[in-house]
């Protein structure tokens, strides 16, 4: 009797659970043209556990482009929603067959949905109001953020084109190193395949890709989908900057043939097409010199944070501690100069190379960490001063300064015992062994030997003559060595420039020349200090400016892709050769 009751209870629970499961399928439209897209929404409610995918019917009249799934759970019961975006393949009356869903040992089905596919918009039933849809779309565009609004507005100029690309920037007149956004969208209202994308080229700009997205836009009653790429740019130097065209090469329509068909009948495949965005010109503004603080290292933008810390606040004498300073802000910190740490009495500092990166959850924000190793010589209490980091706010057009907090470092006497080594004649437990003696005792009563060499001390005029001759030789050799070394530096740099294959080869040849000729190390000095060192060597002002401009452009070329890298490299080689000639003429 008890078993029968349990069995009936389980059957009743199964019927109750089954009664709670509901399956539905709807479409956003039932009348559409070949240029439209259809969205099928399948919803399952009253289930529990992991997500189970429904089974779509055969869809010979459609191509499914994208699938989206979402799940929400309330009181242990989940609601699953699946969206399928598809495009019709031919004209006629068709239907979307039953969608099936298996759960709890039972199969659920939806009812078929009748769909009518027309060749053009004019053939649609009057119930579909294209002007109303267009007006609603225009109102939605007007409410978008500025960059998105610019992209959507530019797309209206291509309403009769099934494929096109538009591009826009968030700011056409930025300051040097001010971050701005470039967005590129590839719109399509028909199927395509085999579509490689080529990034736009830039000049006088740094460029990094930040994100990708998908979306759709209704343009005068015609539904387009788009693929979007976004980049963050920043100007290298004041003056003109350019953004080239982004291109997509593709084949229209579905791939009509199988792999074997393409192999034996490739002529049937549709011809490749290419669409491109329009190039753009920007005007990069110079940063103001008035009010520029000494703690400004080139950061431009808003939302910066600055902090310093020690890896530990207490250490022993002669032990190293790490003093670090961290800056967070827009994704343009790579191009800023290095932070200068102050000299601290009683502490020896060893600077390390800074590290940069992008914040994990936000690709438009980055960080830069500066570190220096501090080694205190004696015990005591040291106060590390507050550090400053300044940036230029382009919105307020003012320089602003962030200041960290001072840090107190406590140094205790060293506890490391100094071990003495016994160098006596006997072997010691520390492993030191006596291997031999090299002392030779002096004879107490030396006897002079008869020789003509004994008379040399009396020929003082010979000594003076020899020493004078040696001094003249050394003087002439030193002058000749310096001249040969400098001449060799010039010839070596010219030879390296002729063999340059990349931008680093050009900058390396200039660096080696300056290091050999004037002992100027470009690796450890910022650009303004390199120019100052050239000024101390009596290099003319025009040559200093020529070097500064060339050096900035070389740094720009290393990070920003060029339209024609081979031609740009050849120009750098020519300009560097001319610069070397002018530097060589400096006395």
Say if CB 170 and CB 155 are below 8 A apart.
no
Indicate whether 289 belongs to any domain.
Answer: no
What is the mean predicted confidence (pLDDT) over 475-504?
73
Looking at the fold, whether 14 and 116 belong to one and the same domain comes out as yes
What is the mean predicted confidence (pLDDT) over 486-497?
81
Looking at the fold, whether 331 and 349 belong to one and the same domain comes out as yes
- Per-residue pLDDT of 173-206, as tens digits, reads 999 999 999 999 999 988 887 788 999 999 999 9
Say if CB 214 and CB 227 are below 8 A apart.
yes
Q: What is the pLDDT of residue 464?
A: 67
Q: Which of 77, 105, 123 is at the close of a domain? A: 123
Q: How confident is the model at residue 261 (pLDDT cuts 50, 70, 90)?
A: very low
- Per-residue pLDDT of 88-103, as tens digits, reads 877 788 888 899 988 8
Indicate whether 513 belongs to any domain.
Answer: yes
- 347 DSSP β-pair partners: 376
Other CB atoms within a 10 A radius of the CB of residue 157 amount to 11
Bigger pLDDT: 32 or 479?
A: 32
What is the mean predicted confidence (pLDDT) over 477-490?
63
Q: What is the pLDDT of residue 505?
A: 85
- Per-residue pLDDT of 11-25, as tens digits, reads 444 444 444 788 899
Kindly report the CATH number assigned to the domain that includes residue 270.
2.60.40
Cα 233 to Cα 180, 209, 330, 558: the distances in Å are 5, 9, 11, 15
Indicate whether 499 belongs to any domain.
Answer: yes
Domain of residue 250: give its range: 130-284
Looking at the fold, whether 137 and 113 belong to one and the same domain comes out as no
Highest mean pLDDT among 61-65, 147-151, 276-280: 276-280
Q: What is the pLDDT of residue 292?
A: 93
Indicate whether 444 belongs to any domain.
Answer: no
Q: What is the pLDDT of residue 6?
A: 46
Highest mean pLDDT among 258-267, 285-294, 450-459: 285-294
Looking at the fold, whether 117 and 10 belong to one and the same domain comes out as yes
Q: How confident is the model at residue 295 (pLDDT cuts 50, 70, 90)?
A: very high
Say if CB 251 and CB 273 are below 8 A apart.
yes
Indicate whether 62 belongs to any domain.
Answer: yes
What is the mean predicted confidence (pLDDT) over 206-227?
86
Six-digit token string for 70:
């979402």
Looking at the fold, whether 13 and 65 belong to one and the same domain comes out as yes
Q: Which of 284, 310, 340 is at the close of a domain? A: 284
Q: What is the pLDDT of residue 49?
A: 67
Q: What is the pLDDT of residue 219?
A: 84
Six-digit token string for 47:
């289930």
Q: How confident is the model at residue 73 (pLDDT cuts 50, 70, 90)?
A: confident
Q: How confident is the model at residue 509 (pLDDT cuts 50, 70, 90)?
A: confident
Q: What is the pLDDT of residue 267?
A: 44
Say if CB 526 and CB 340 are below 8 A apart.
no
Looking at the fold, whether 119 and 134 belong to one and the same domain comes out as no
Looking at the fold, whether 367 and 279 belong to one and the same domain comes out as no
Indicate whether 329 belongs to any domain.
Answer: yes
Instruction: Identify which of 40, 25, 38 has the alpha carbon closest to the alpha carbon of residue 100.
Output: 25
Looking at the fold, whether 145 and 263 belong to one and the same domain comes out as yes
Q: What is the pLDDT of residue 405?
A: 93
What is the mean predicted confidence (pLDDT) over 244-265?
66
Which helix (H) or strand (E) segment is 68 a member of?
strand 62-74
Indicate whether 403 belongs to any domain.
Answer: yes
Looking at the fold, whether 275 and 301 belong to one and the same domain comes out as no
Instruction: Identify which of 221, 147, 222 has the alpha carbon closest to the alpha carbon of residue 185.
Output: 147
- Per-residue pLDDT of 263-293, as tens digits, reads 444 444 568 889 999 999 999 999 999 999 9
CB neighbour burial string for 541-560, b if at least 16 within 10 angstroms, e if fewer: eebbebbbebbebbbbbeeb
* β-strand pairing of 355-359 with 362-376: antiparallel
DSSP 269: S
Q: What is the pLDDT of residue 269?
A: 54
Kindly report the CATH number assigned to the domain that includes residue 109.
2.60.40.10
Bigger pLDDT: 505 or 300?
A: 300
**SS3 state at 58:** coil
Looking at the fold, whether 26 and 166 belong to one and the same domain comes out as no
- Computed over every residue of the chain, the mean pLDDT equals 79
Q: What is the pLDDT of residue 454?
A: 53
Q: What is the pLDDT of residue 28?
A: 84
- CA 429, CA 483: separation in Å to the nearest integer? 57
Looking at the fold, whether 105 and 14 belong to one and the same domain comes out as yes
Q: How many domains does the chain have?
A: 4
Whether 329 shows a pLDDT value over 80: the answer reads: yes
Q: Which of 372, 395, 412 is at the close of a domain? A: 412
Looking at the fold, whether 407 and 311 belong to one and the same domain comes out as yes
Indicate whether 443 belongs to any domain.
Answer: no
Q: What is the pLDDT of residue 141?
A: 62
């Amino acid at each position: 009797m008890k078993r029968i009751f349990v069995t009936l209870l389980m059957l009743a629970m199964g019927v109750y659970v089954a009664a709670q499961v509901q399956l539905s399928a709807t479409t956003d439209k039932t009348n559409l043209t070949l240029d439209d897209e259809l969205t099928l929404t399948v919803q399952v409610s009253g289930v529990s556990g992991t997500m189970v995918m429904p089974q779509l019917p055969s869809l010979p009249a459609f191509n499914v482009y994208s699938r989206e799934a979402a799940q929400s759970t309330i009181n242990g019961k989940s609601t699953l929603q699946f969206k399928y975006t598809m495009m019709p393949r031919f004209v006629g009356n068709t239907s979307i067959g039953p969608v099936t869903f298996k759960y709890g040992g039972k199969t659920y089905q939806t009812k078929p949905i009748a769909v009518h596919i027309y060749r053009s918009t004019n053939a649609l039933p009057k119930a579909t109001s294209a002007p109303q849809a267009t007006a609603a779309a225009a109102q939605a565009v007007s409410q978008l953020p500025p960059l998105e609004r610019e992209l959507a507005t530019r797309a209206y100029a291509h309403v009769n084109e099934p494929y096109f690309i538009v591009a826009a920037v968030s700011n056409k007149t930025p300051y040097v190193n001010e971050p701005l956004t470039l967005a590129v969208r590839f719109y399509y209202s028909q199927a395509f395949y085999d579509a490689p994308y080529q990034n736009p080229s830039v000049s006088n700009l740094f460029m990094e890709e930040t994100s990708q997205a998908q979306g759709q836009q209704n343009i005068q009653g015609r539904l387009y989908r788009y693929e979007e790429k976004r980049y963050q740019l920043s100007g290298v130097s004041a003056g003109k900057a350019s953004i080239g065209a982004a291109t997509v090469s593709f084949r229209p329509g579905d791939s009509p043939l199988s792999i074997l068909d393409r192999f034996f009948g490739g002529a049937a495949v549709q011809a490749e097409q290419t669409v491109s965005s329009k190039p753009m010109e920007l005007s990069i503004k110079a940063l103001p010199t008035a009010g520029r603080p000494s703690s400004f290292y080139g950061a431009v933008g808003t939302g910066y944070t600055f902090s310093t810390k020690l890896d530990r606040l207490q250490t022993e004498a002669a032990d190293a501690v790490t003093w670090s300073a961290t800056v967070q802000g827009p994704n343009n910190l790579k191009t800023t100069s290095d932070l200068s740490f102050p000299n601290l009495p009683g502490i020896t500092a060893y600077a390390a190379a800074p590290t940069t990166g992008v914040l994990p959850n936000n690709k438009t924000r980055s960080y830069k960490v500066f570190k220096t190793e501090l080694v205190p010589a004696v015990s005591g209490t040291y106060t590390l001063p507050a550090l400053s980091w300044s940036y230029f706010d382009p919105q307020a057009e003012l320089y602003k300064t962030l200041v960290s907090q001072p840090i107190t470092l406590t140094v205790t006497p060293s506890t490391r015992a100094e071990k003495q080594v016994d160098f006596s004649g006997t072997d010691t437990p520390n492993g030191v062994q006596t291997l031999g003696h090299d002392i030779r005792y002096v004879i107490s009563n030396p006897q002079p030997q008869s020789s003509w060499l004994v008379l040399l001390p009396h020929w003082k005029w010979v000594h003076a003559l020899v020493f004078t001759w040696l001094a003249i030789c050394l003087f002439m050799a030193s002058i000749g060595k310096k001249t040969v070394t400098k001449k060799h530096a010039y010839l070596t740099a010219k030879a390296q420039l002729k063999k340059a294959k990349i931008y680093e080869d050009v900058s390396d040849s200039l660096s080696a020349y300056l290091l050999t000729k004037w002992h100027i190390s470009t690796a450890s000095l910022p650009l303004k200090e390199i120019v100052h060192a050239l000024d101390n060597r009596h290099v003319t002002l025009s040559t200093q400016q020529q070097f500064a401009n060339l050096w900035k452009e070389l740094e720009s070329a290393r990070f920003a892709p060029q339209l024609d890298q081979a031609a740009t490299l050849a120009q750098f080689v020519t300009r560097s050769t001319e610069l070397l000639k002018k530097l060589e003429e400096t006395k």
